[in-house]
Every structure is written in C-alpha cells, then in structure tokens.
Amino acid sequence: VCVCMGVCMKVCQETQKHTPLDHHKLIILQLSVITHSSRHERVASNSVILGKLSLNLTRATPGMAARLHGVIADMLPRSTLLELSLENMNTLRLRPQQDPERGRLLAGLLQLAPGTALVLDETALAPGRLDQTGMSNLQALHALVQAQTVEFVLPYSSLVFNADVPVLVASEGRSMLPVDVHVPLQVSAQTSIPTLPPALLWQLRTYLHSLRSGVFAIPPPMTQIIEADFVRLRQESPSLSGQALHTMLAVARLFAITRGEPDLTEQTWRDTLALEAARLARLAAVDAET
C-alpha cells in the first residue's frame, strides 16, 4: 500500500512538472482514471452496487472524449470509446441478440469484459430523430449506466446479465444518461493531455491495477459521523436525496482506496464532503450562467 501511494504522489508531481495542466484540470483527469479503475460490487439482492460512480464531464469540446480515452487506454488494460452520433445510435447493435435464422448469438458493443472502461462521446450527437434501433440502444445505455446490466435479446424473451463497466460521458450540456456525478470543465479545444514517461506510466498502471483489489470498510464510529453529517445536510438542503448520500459514499470509497486506507477515516470523509460541496457550487455557478 505504501509503495502504491508513493507511486501516486510521484505521478502527480511528475505530471504537474511536465504538463501545462492546472490543478483543477489535473484533478479532473485523475478522477476520470481512478473512477475507471474501481471495481463494482453488488450486495444483498443486487439492488445496491458498491463502487458505481458514472462520471459526466460537461462543457466538453469535440475531440475531448477521444483525447481522454487515449489517456485512459494508456493506463488501463481494457477500454473502449463509443461516439453517440445519430448514425451510430440508429445503426449499431449495442445489445447482444440472437439471430433466429442462423441460430447464433450476435455480439453487442456493450458486451464488454469486466473492468472495461467505457468512454461515451455525446458531443458527436447532432439534432435528429432516433428510430426504433436508436431508442433500443438508448435504453441499453440507460440500463448499463444506471443499473450496470446488459440485456441479451432473444426471439421471445430476454436475459439480463450484471456488468462491471465504469462509464465516463463527455458532453456539452448535462448528459441524457442517468449518470451519478456531473462535473463542469473549464477547458478549451486546445487543452493538452499529459504524456508521461514510459517508466512512470508503467508504475501508474501497476498502481491503478491494485485499486481494483482494494479493501474498504466503514467502521461503526464513522457510520455515526456519516449519519449525523447527512442529517445536518438534509436540514440545510431538504431536497438532498438518498442518492446523494450514495454518491458521497462512492467518492469516499475511492478516496480511501487511493490513499491505501482499508477503513474510512474521518479526514477522508471530510475531504469527500469538501469536494462534493465544491462540485455542487461549480454546478450552481454554471446553471446561473445559462
């Protein structure tokens, strides 16, 4: 754990040294990669998915999704980029389905290996109409982002399988998909993406790989602190939902695992609350501008 944390700090320092990214952009990049290296876990009746944190980077410019995917592909073993253009939505097969004439299953683009990082480019979507195939594909994306499931379509029925596919959506406005977290960017089409030295890149791959096997637990004393903080937040903002608490816990889990903490600490929880407050303030500022 100590070695992994040392590698993480070294990567951050080297990235800041060799690239023109400011601190905000670097944090966004790190969150994008870390989110796509976290393992999803289902508990109880599969209704709760621990570690699921789909991320929507808004105010993205055309081509940014491809550049982000290039970084993620360099760091993670499995990743794919899907442009959500009108043509792709109306023609591609996202769900696996059986061909009754040939009696075999036709693969779908969302039929991905566990841990595959999926980057969706909504900036490619132009005004137009989705046909029946397009609507079916949109429903398939909704199911994957919201419930981490993929439906296999059969002639007279369907089978639903669980998935473990972290999703990152790049869009101009808020995504049409039910993502967990929206983060507005402050970048331009000329924003550069860092290129890391090969040796440092290898260390980072090792570090990110270790995150998928990271252990995480919430000690009983921390449960009481979280409950008290959530009650306080609900009093300050009555519209705060249970989903907001799930999102904060997912972010806290990422923070703890990346810091090598098997148990959630109060400091990490406070850092999580501060980050979420900053994100909500940025969203409010963006909404006020529109």
Interval 3-45: pLDDT, tens: 444 445 555 555 455 444 444 444 555 555 556 656 666 654 4
Q: Is residue 168 scored above 70 in pLDDT?
A: yes
Mean pLDDT score, 94-122: 91
Q: What is the pLDDT of residue 44?
A: 47
Average confidence score pLDDT of the chain: 82
What's the alpha-carbon Rg for the chain, to the nearest Å? 20
Work out the pLDDT band at 212, boundaries 50, 70, 90. confident
Q: Is the pLDDT of residue 222 over 70?
A: yes
pLDDT higher at 231 or 100: 231
Cα three-residue angle 121-66-133, rounded to 5 degrees? 35
- Picking from 168, 165, 191, 148, the residue whose alpha carbon sits closest to that of residue 72 is 168
pLDDT for position 193: 63
Question: What is the per-residue pLDDT for 192?
Answer: 63
Tens digits of residue pLDDT in 37-68: 566 666 544 456 766 888 899 988 898 899 88
Return the SS3 of 153.
strand
**pLDDT score for 3:** 41
Provide the pairing of β-strand 48-50 with 55-58: unpaired
Locate 167 and state its tokens. 């999703």
**130, 86 contact by CB (below 8 A):** yes
pLDDT per residue as tens digits for the range 176-207: 999 988 888 876 555 566 667 787 778 778 87
Two structure tokens written together for 103:
């009696």
